[in-house]
Structures are given as C-alpha cells and as structure tokens.
C-alpha cells in the first residue's frame, strides 16, 4: 500500500495541476480525492515492495532446491538402470 507521504505528494501534484479557480476548493477536493483513491487502492490486492522481494527470494530458493532434486532423481534413475539385472 502507498504510504501517506506518497499520497501527499500525489495530491500536491494533482492540486497544482488544477486551474486557479478550482484551487479555491482545494481542501475539499483533496479530502474527496484522498478518500476515493484510498478506497480504490484498498480494494486492490496489492503487496508492498518488501513483501514482493521476500517472496521473490523464497521462489528463487525453491527453484534452486527443485533443480537439485531433479538432478538427484535423474542420478538415482541412472544408477537404478545400471544396477538392474538384464531381462532374459
């Protein structure tokens, strides 16, 4: 989720882009815009960058373990073929 500082920066940029006549109503517009934006973002299934990075690291470790297990299974299968008595 966006932190309050990012919200404030976004609102500042939006309000400075408004025509001068509308800027008189800036506080009311900011309040309504903030509520609408927070409500919309709350409905989205968002994660923080930190959570994303943690899950990316977990996925990388899981992929490495999977590759090692695949290699181990392949080696065991080859050993099984070599030790199997010939079929007559």
41-64 pLDDT tens trace: 778 888 889 999 999 999 999 999
Burial 19-47 (b: 16+ CB within 10 A, else e): eeeeeeeeeebbeebeeeeeeeeeeeeee
> Domain limits of the chain?
1-46, 47-88
Contacts 24+ apart (CB under 8 A), 22-30: none
- pTM score of the predicted model: 0.50
Q: What is the mean pLDDT of residues 67-72?
A: 98
23-43 pLDDT tens trace: 667 777 777 877 888 888 778
Q: Considering only residues 11 and 44, tell me which one the structure prediction assigns the higher pLDDT.
A: 44
Distance in angstroms (rounded) separating the CA atoms of residues 7 and 38:
9
């Amino acid at each position: 989720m966006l932190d309050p500082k990012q919200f404030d920066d976004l609102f500042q940029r939006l309000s400075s882009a408004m025509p001068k006549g509308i800027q008189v109503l800036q506080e009311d517009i900011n309040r309504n815009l903030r509520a609408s934006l927070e409500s919309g973002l709350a409905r989205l299934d968002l994660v923080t960058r930190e959570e994303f990075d943690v899950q990316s690291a977990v996925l990388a470790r899981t992929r490495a373990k999977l590759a090692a297990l695949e290699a181990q299974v392949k080696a065991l299968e080859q050993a099984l073929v070599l030790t199997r008595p010939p079929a007559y």
